[in-house]
Amino acid sequence: MTQQMTSPEHIEYVLRLGDNALILGQRLSEWCGHAPVLEEDMALANMSLDLIGQARMLLTHAGRLEGRGRDEDQLAFLRTEPNYRNLTLCELPNQDFGRTMVRNFLYSSFQKLLWERLMTSSDAELAAIAAKSIKEARYHAQHSGDWVIRLGDGTADSHARAQGALDYLWPYTAEFFATTPVDDAVAAAGVGPVWSELETAWEALVMPVLAEATLTVPARTPFRSYGKFGRHSEHMGHLLAEMQIMQRTYPGAQW
Amino acid sequence: MYTQALDIPQQNTEAKGPRTIENPAYQAEFDAKIDAGGYIEAKDWMPESYRKTLVRQISQHAHSEIVGMLPEGNWITRAPTLKRKAILLAKVQDEGGHGLYLYAAAETLGVSRDELLDALHSGRAKYSSIFNYPTLTWADIGVVGWLVDGAAIMNQIPLCKCSYGPYARAMVRICKEESFHQRQGYDLLLTMMKGTEEQRDMVQDAVNRWWWPSIMMFGPHDKDSTHSAQSSRWGIKRISNDDLRQKFVDATVEQAKVLGVTMPDPELKWNEARGHYDFGAIDWDEFWNVVDGHGQGNVDRLAARVKAWDDGAWVREAALEYARKHDARDSRAA
Ligand SMILES: [Fe+2]
Ligand SMILES: [Fe+2]
Ligand SMILES: [Fe+2]
C-alpha cells in the first residue's frame, strides 16, 4: 500500500472511478441469460466481470485512503444514494442491446483515455489498477464499437434504434467533462487528470466510429446531469434497492 | 477468455452431417470400433439411430445449460458481496459456455444451432426439469451449486468416455468446470452456516426444497427407464440411473453432515449390509408433472428464453445485413 498524503478530493476521485465501474457492472450483469445470441451473453458477462473487478480494487483502495475501516462491500452496498459518485450515464437502464452497446462505446472510449492518464498517477495503487483496467477498457471499446457500426450500418430498423440510443445517451456525456474543484485538487497532486481536459481526445475517438456507423451526432443542448456530484436520476434508487437488499436486510452478516 | 462476438450462428445453417446411409460393411466397422472402446468422429460413418440419439441427448444437455442460466441469474443483481457477485456471474457465464460447446458438438452431427433453438422455443425439445424450480433465497445459489451441479457431475463424468469424440471432449471441459461450481456452492453454504441463526435456517430451507428434485435428476428407476442396452453399448449411458443416484446420495449425505444440515427424508439411514444409504420413496408424480410442463417455473423459463431470442432478432438481422452489405462492397472493390 502507498503511504502517501491523501485528501478528501483524492478519496472522492477514486470513489467516482469505483462507482462508475460498480454501477455499470451491475447494469451489464442484468443481461446475463437474456442476450440476443449466446456469444453476447458471454461477452456481456465478461465485461460486467471486468467492471466488478475494477470496482472491487477501486473501492478497496478508496476505503484504505479514507482510513475509516470501510471495505469494498461496505462502500458498495451501504452508502446512501447521494454518496455514490458515478456518472449518470452508468446508471441508466439497459433498455435494449442497442442502447447498451452505444453506452458501452461512449463510456469505455472515455475510460481508455482516463486509464491511460492514470497509469502515471502519483498514487501508485491507482496507477497499478489503471494498468490492468486499460486492457479491459480497450476490449470493451472495441467490442461495443464493432456493434455500434454493425447496428448503425445494418438494417433500417437497427439504424433507427442505434440513432435513438445515441440521441438519448449523448446529452449525458456532457457530464463526463463537467468541471469540478475535486479534479483540480487531484490534478495538482498529480493523482489524475482533470476530466474536462479529455473532451477533445474523446471526440477524436468516438466521432470516426459514429460516422462509420452512419449515425448523426446530436448537437449539445443545455441538458446537464449531475451523478458525479451525487445528484442522480430516478433510476438510481431502484438499482440501489435491488443491489443493496441483502446487506440492508441482514446487517453485519458474513456471506 | 473473450468470445468471438462476430460469429453469428445463422450464417451456417446448411446441414453437413456425417454419412449415415445403411451399409453392412460400414456398420461392422462401426461396431468393432465401439466395442474396442474407440471414438467415433464427425467424419466417420455412423448409423442414423446413433446420430439421432446423440443429437437428442447433446441438444437437451445444451438447452439445460442455457435454461439453467436463468434460476441462478435471478440472484446476480442481488448478490450480497462483490466477491460473491463475481463468482456467481462467472459461474452463470460458464454455463453459457457449456451451452456453446454442446451446441457445437451437436452441429458436427448435421444440425444447426438455430434448428435446435427453434425446437427449444417451440416446446418440442426438453431440458433438465430441475431448472423449473425457483431460486427463492441466496442460500439457493449455494445449494444449486452443491446439489444440482453435484448431480450433474455424477451424470456427466461417465460421458467423458462416451463413444462420440466431439461430445466426450466437450464433457471433459464441462466436468472440470462443474466440479469447480460445486465446490464454490459448498463454500458459500459453509460460510452461511458459520453465520447467524437466520442464515443457517435459510440454508436448511433451501436444502429442504432442493434435495428431492436433485435426486430426481438421475431420472426414473432403472426398471422404468427407457434407456436401452443400445445406449450403454454406445457408451452414451454407461452407468444406470439408480447406481448414479445411490453414488450421489452416499457422497452428499456425508457432505451434509460436515455442513450441519439434514436432508428432508426420515428414511435416510446407513445400511451396513448394503454399504450404502437407504432413502425414502421418490415422488414420481411430482417428477412427471414437472417434466410434463406443470412445474412452478416451466412457463416462465421458456418465456424468458423466447423473449431473449425474439428481442434479439433485430440485432442478429442487423449483423447479417451489415456482413452482406460489406461482402458486396468488398467484392466490388476487389
Ligand atoms: Fe454447466
Ligand atoms: Fe451440465
Ligand atoms: Fe455448473
pLDDT beneath 50, residues of chain A: 1-3
Mean pLDDT of B155-161: 92
Question: According to the model, what pLDDT value does residue B16 have?
Answer: 61
Identity of the amino acid at B193: M
B2 pLDDT above the threshold of 50: no
Instruction: Give CA–CA dist B66/A38, Å, rounded.
Output: 8
Among partner residues B3, B76, B312, which is closest to A32 by beta-carbon distance? B76
- Structure-block grid coordinates of residue A135: 486492457
pLDDT at B329 > cutoff 90: no
Rounded Cα distance, A143 and B182, in Å: 32
Contact A56 B82 (CB under 8 A): yes
pLDDT at A1: 46
Please name the amino acid found at residue B268: L
Q: Do A33 and B308 touch (CB under 8 A)?
A: yes
| Cβ contact A223:A170 at 8 Å | no
> pLDDT by residue (tens digit) across B65-102?
999 999 999 999 999 999 999 999 999 999 999 999 99
Give yes or no for a contact between A228 and A16, defined as CB atoms under 8 angstroms apart. Answer: yes
Average pLDDT over residues B251-269: 98
CB neighbour list of residue A65: distance below 8 Å, 6 or more residues apart: A6, A10, A11, A14
Q: Tell me which chain B residue has its CA closest to the CA of residue A156.
A: B318
Grid cell 453392412 — which residue?
Answer: B24
CA distance B246 to chain A (A): 31
- Say whether residue A79 is in contact with chain B using an 8 A CB cutoff: no
Nearest ligand, CA of residue B148?
A: 3
Quick check: pTM over 0.80?
A: yes
- Residue B232 confidence (pLDDT): 83
Q: Are A35 and A159 in contact (CB under 8 A)?
A: no
Instruction: Assign domain A8-217+224-249 to a CATH class.
Output: mainly alpha
pLDDT at residue number B227: 65
Query: What is the average pLDDT across B29-48?
Result: 93
Q: What is the ipTM of this complex?
A: 0.97
Query: First and final CA of chain A: distance in angstroms?
Result: 26
CA A150 to the chain's CA centroid: 23
What is the DSSP secondary-structure string of chain A?
-------HHHHHHHHHHHHHHHHHHHHHHTTTT-SSSHHHHHHHHHHHHHHHHHHHHHHHHHHHHHTS---HHHHHHSS-GGG----HHHHS---SHHHHHHHHHHHHHHHHHHHHHHTT-SSHHHHHHHHHHHHHHHHHHHHHHHHHHHHHTS-HHHHHHHHHHHHHHGGGGGGGG---HHHHHHHHTTSS--GGGGHHHHHHHHHHHHHHTTPPPPPP-S---BGGGTB--HHHHHHHHHHHHHHHHSTT---
Taking all residues of chain B, what is their mean pLDDT, rounded to a whole number?
92
Beta-ladder partners of A129: none
Is B5's pLDDT higher than 50? no
A30 interface with B at CB cutoff 8 Å: yes
The secondary structure element, H or E, covering residue B105 is: helix B82-107
Task: Show Cβ contacts of residue B213 under 8 Å, excluding neighbours closer than 6 positions.
Answer: B129, B130, B133, B290
pLDDT, mean of residues B271-285: 97
More confident residue, B273 or B225: B273
Residue type for position B260: G
Cβ pair B80:A246 closer than 8 A? yes
Predicted pLDDT at B7:
35
Beta strands at B276-278 and B269-271: parallel, antiparallel or unpaired: antiparallel
How confident is the model at residue B257, as a pLDDT? Answer: 97
- CA–CA gap between residue B259 and residue B253 (Å, rounded): 10
What is the rounded radius of gyration, in angstroms, for the C-alpha atoms of chain A? Answer: 18
| Cα radius of gyration (chain B) | 22
DSSP state at residue B266: T
What average pLDDT score do residues B228-247 get? 87
- All three cell numbers of A181, joined, read 474543484
Nearest-Cα distance to chain A for B63, in Å, is 11
pLDDT at B229: 76
CA angle A82, A83, A88 (to 5 degrees): 65
Please report which ligand is nearest the Cα atom of B181: 3
Least Cα distance to A241 among A80, A55, A92, A58 occurs for: A80
* Interval between CA B148 and ligand 2 midpoint (Å): 9
Residue B289 CA to ligand 3 centre (angstroms): 25
Cβ-based contacts of A247 with chain B (< 8 Å): 80
CA B270 to centroid of ligand 3, rounded, Å: 29
- pLDDT at position B327, please? 87
Say whether pLDDT at B1 is over 60: no
Report the distance separating Cα A171 and Cα B149, nearest Å: 46
DSSP code string of B44-91:
S---HHHHHHHHHHHHHHHHHHHHTHHHHHTTGGG-SSHHHHHHHHHH
The answer to whether the Cβ–Cβ distance between B82 and A40 falls below 8 Å is no
Averaged pLDDT for residues B47-69? 96
Phi, psi of A161 (to 5 degrees): -70, -40
pLDDT at residue B8 tops 50: no
Q: What is the mean pLDDT of residues B101-115?
A: 97
Which one is predicted more confidently, B151 or A1?
Answer: B151
Are A246 and B80 spatial neighbours (Cβ–Cβ below 8 Å)?
yes
Q: Is the pLDDT of residue B322 over 60?
A: yes
Nearest beta carbon to residue B66 from set A38, A43, A146: A38
Residue B269 is inside which H or E element, if any?
strand B269-271
Distance in angstroms (rounded) separating the CA atoms of residues B218 and B221: 8
Mean pLDDT of B210-232: 88
